Amino acid sequence: MNDSPSSAPPSLGGWEAALRARYRDRSGARPSPGWNDVLETILDHRSVRRFRADPLPAGALDTIVAAAQSAPSSSNLQAWSVVAVEDPERRARLAALAGGQRHVAEAPLVLVFLADLARLDGAARGRGVPAEGLDYLESFLVGVVDAALAAQNAVVALESLGLGCCYIGAMRNRPEEVAAELGLPPKVFAVFGLTIGIPDPAATTAVKPRLPPAVVLHRERYQAPESNELSLYDARLRSFQREQRMREQDWTVQATERVKGPESLSGRHRLRDALAALGFHLR
């Protein structure tokens, strides 16, 4: 008889509680085939923006990077890298470039995940072969996807160690200046940052509800969501915001305001020009 966690009977209490926290609604969800520590860690994810001043436990960074490198990679190109930033002055400068987010300056560790085509370019030059394929959008996307997969592996690993984190997409607000701060060569782009530390127990947050599965899960063919599904989610999100003493705002309002025009993109509307300046000649 196999007694491994993956084959153990599901803990209905754990699974049900996790679904209620993640969706604030249990209707329509199927029973889990099992329940284990990995699922609990993943479903319990929440962004952490306040950290204790303590440094990370010894070996934590190496463990996080090993987990990140265990993520899948397209064609095994491994077209990503990561810069670990612990220096307080550099973190403060990165915080300023990322829209003044305090937790970038205050977290004991900031990881900046990179789409890295420079390593492949150098390998090709070393062999005396062309690397023209790096000038196509596909190669850039491979680097971005590889970086994202690696980062999410890192998040699951660090949260399993009791650490907390928050993604920092604002590293793309001023890409050239971030590249200069980190000494990035041409063909390397900071996709996002990740603040990491021991969560401040005085600033705990609840799990933020996500869109209903019926909105994101399509079976066989894409189907537009029913309008009432988004309305229900707006209500659930407002309930969460109320409990957390946050400003109440519907998801449909927040999301559409974020995409309504270039002025709402926090400087990222010029990303194509920034990529060209950073050595990406995309075709």
178 closest CA partner among 120, 112, 116, 117: 112
187 closest CA partner among 144, 128, 127, 149: 144
**pLDDT reading at 249 higher than 80:** yes
What integer pLDDT is reported at residue 115 of this predicted model? 98
Task: Give strand pairing partners of 192.
Answer: 113
What integer pLDDT is reported at residue 30 of this predicted model? 67
**Using 50, 70 and 90 to split pLDDT, how confident is the model at 113?**
very high
**pLDDT reading at 1 higher than 50:** no
Do residues 178 and 168 lie in contact, with contact meaning Cβ atoms separated by under 8 Å? no
Rounded distance between C-alpha atoms, residue 132 and residue 283, angstroms? 10
CA angle 41, 42, 47 (to 5 degrees): 95
Our measurement of the distance from residue 157's CA atom to the centroid of its chain's CA atoms, rounded to an integer in Å, reads 13
Please enumerate in sequence order all residues whose Cβ is within 8 A of that of 281, keeping only pairs 6 or more positions apart, or say none: 135
Rounded to two decimals, what is the model's pTM?
0.92
**Using 50, 70 and 90 to split pLDDT, how confident is the model at 25?**
confident
Rounded distance between C-alpha atoms, residue 45 and residue 159, angstroms? 8
- Of 3-7, 20-24, 55-59, 96-100, the least confident: 3-7
Higher pLDDT, 27 or 222: 222
Which H or E run contains 164? strand 164-168
Q: Whose structure tokens read 């010029």? A: 270
Do residues 199 and 125 lie in contact, with contact meaning Cβ atoms separated by under 8 Å? no
pLDDT in tens, 190-214: 999 999 999 999 998 889 999 998 8
**Using 50, 70 and 90 to split pLDDT, how confident is the model at 112?**
very high
The mean pLDDT of 228-239, rounded to a whole number, is: 93
What integer pLDDT is reported at residue 26 of this predicted model? 62
Do residues 152 and 120 lie in contact, with contact meaning Cβ atoms separated by under 8 Å? no
What integer pLDDT is reported at residue 15 of this predicted model? 87
Residue type for 238, please? R
Q: Where do the domains of the chain lie, and which CATH numbers do they carry?
A: 60-199 (3.40.109.10), 206-245 (no CATH)
Through-space distance between the first and last CA atoms of the chain, rounded to whole angstroms: 56
Please enumerate in sequence order all residues whose Cβ is within 8 A of that of 41, keeping only pairs 6 or more positions apart, or say none: 156, 159, 160
Please enumerate in sequence order all residues whose Cβ is within 8 A of that of 18, keeping only pairs 6 or more positions apart, or say none: 39, 40, 43, 44
Instruction: Kindly state the DSSP code that residue 102 receives in the 8-state scheme.
Output: H
pLDDT in tens, 50-84: 999 999 999 999 999 999 999 999 999 999 999 99
What is the residue-averaged pLDDT of the chain?
92
